Amino acid sequence: MQLDSPLTNKRVLDRDFATEWKKISQQVLAFCYHRVDLPSEAEEIFQQIAIRAWYGYASFNGDAAFLTWVMTIARREIARAMSHHHERSKTEASLEVVTEIAPDSLPSFPAPEMGSKDYSWLSVVTKIAASKGVLTQMESTSILTRLAHSEESWDAIGKMLGVSGTACATLHCRAIPKLRMFLFMYRPDLLGGIPAITEAFTRALADKSNRLNVQEIEVFQRIILDGQVNYRKAGWRLALRSACSKVIKWLSLP
């Protein structure tokens, strides 16, 4: 009788977890939004819950419903995050209060010529975003490693970083919307400039398959197109990340 290898068992667990997680993810995200005041923080906690649940899935024995088990993790992660936030708020201002990163505090480098095949600026921007606290160190590392080893699988990249392939991919997917928003807000020249972004925004508005909602339209127009850096409305950060992801696909970028 042939025994399954540890690698085969691991792949089965990953597949089973992905199936179960897909069924409940929206309920977990809604729970995070309900319990956490800032949508941006709720999203961060939601991602952390996913990672914790994935790590612990091998120990899930089915005594309780999967959603019940995950909600136990969710409550614990929310409590931990709120405790950390309380301690941090004693010494630093909330990210929602800080209006913006001062442009003169950002290192400058020339935008690449249109049509250039040199994408080394992506690494530079990633490092700058991490230095400003936009990306965590692990998020930054996941992007930089992916850029340096674009042909490798997530499992291979994960081994380089000392984490699983799934965890590495999750970090990367969490980091990309943050990096996109950083580019739109602080280096629009790297995306072709405001005229190109305006044209892409117009095309995104006409896209019926992935519509911009009212909040996304407002926040993108105010902050990106009109340059109203002091515009801060509840949920603006999450709405802007989503809007940037919908608009960027209409730009001529790698």
Q: Which residue has the higher pLDDT, 210 or 196?
A: 196
The CATH architecture annotation of domain 6-89 reads Orthogonal Bundle (1.10)
In angstroms, what CA-CA distances link 188 with 111, 129, 185, 197?
A: 10, 14, 7, 8
Supply the pTM of this predicted model. 0.61
Domains 6-89 and 101-190 equal at CATH topology level: no
Helix 39-56 with 6-35: angle, nearest 10 deg: 150
Domain map of the chain by residue range? 6-89, 101-190, 192-254
Separation of CA 114 from chain center? 27
- What does CATH list as the number for 101-190? 1.10.10
Task: List C-alpha distances in Å: 42 to 6, 56, 172.
Answer: 35, 21, 18
Measured in Å, how far apart are the chain's first and last C-alpha atoms? 49
> What per-residue confidence (pLDDT) applies to 68?
93
Tell me if 161 sits within 8 A of 149, measured CB to CB: no
Looking at per-residue confidence, does 254 or 27 come out higher? 27
CB atoms within 10 A of CB 35: 15
Closest by CA to 187, choosing from 92, 77, 93, 112, is 112
pLDDT > 80? residue 77: yes
